[in-house]
Amino acid sequence: MNTLSKLNNAGDDLAVSMISPLIERAPHIAEKVSKHRPFADSHALCDAILCELLKLNEEESLTLFRAHPELAPNKSLSMTSASQQEQGRFDLTSQHNEHRTHLVTLNAQYQEKFGFPFIVALARHTNMESVIKNFETRLAGNRASEMKNAIEQIHAVSAARIKIFLSIDDTTSPKNR
């Protein structure tokens, strides 16, 4: 039985525990997503996550955003293992990362301006220069666009995690779903 079949056939508690790692520190959303079962494929699971993200009001969205780690946080071990792997890809879990000082400044500016951490789907980037350019560009935006962008980024992070969860080869699946 493949992972998607296991998820579709799992009891409610097990299904929530299987979905939870796909959405950063949001078991309440995982619970709602689990009610969309059965999922025909990875896209249906991804769409169910987006559906539930789009239902959040502003306060719920802010709570979700604030559960996400900053880039290159001081305490990288406090991140979920998925976030550690994602940030580790760019050496952002190291205290000696060459971009750390700049990212600390950007994180503080973003947090002060928008009231939540910068959320980015690192899977969409091939290098740190791309991440930093995206960070700086979005920092110049407005709060409404960043609220929308944060939901989009969370959805993209979930999509990347679904590919890993279901062992989907990136060469055969659509990019940036």
| Residue 176 pLDDT | 42
Residue type, 147: M
Each residue's pLDDT tens digit, 13-63: 999 999 999 999 999 999 999 999 999 999 999 999 999 999 999 999 999
DSSP assignment, residue 98? Answer: T
Helix (H, G, I), strand (E, B) or coil at 162: helix
Helix (H, G, I), strand (E, B) or coil at 82: helix
pLDDT of 111 strictly over 90: yes
Domains of the chain: 3-165 (1.10.3330.10)
Each residue's pLDDT tens digit, 93-109: 999 999 999 999 999 99
Please say whether the beta carbons of 15 and 37 come within 8 A.
Answer: yes
| Residue 170 pLDDT | 57
Helix (H, G, I), strand (E, B) or coil at 121: coil
Q: Which of 63, 32, 67, 62 is CA-nearest to residue 48?
A: 32
Please say whether the beta carbons of 154 and 64 come within 8 A.
Answer: yes
| Beta-carbon count within 10 A of 77 CB | 8
Mean pLDDT of the chain: 94
CA-CA-CA-CA torsion sign (162, 12, 48, 87): negative
Cα angle vertex 56, ends 82, 159, to 5°?
35
pLDDT bucket at 175, cuts 50 / 70 / 90: very low
| Residue 2 pLDDT | 76
Return d(Cα 8, Cα 15) in angstroms, integer. Answer: 8
Please say whether the beta carbons of 123 and 155 come within 8 A.
Answer: no
Stretch among 66-75, 84-93, 130-139, 167-176 having the lowest mean pLDDT: 167-176
Is residue 127 packed enough to be buried (19+ CB in 10 Å), middle (13-18) or exposed (0-12)? exposed
| Beta-carbon count within 10 A of 161 CB | 22
Return d(Cα 1, Cα 9) in angstroms, integer. Answer: 10
pLDDT of 140 strictly over 80: yes
pLDDT bucket at 71, cuts 50 / 70 / 90: very high
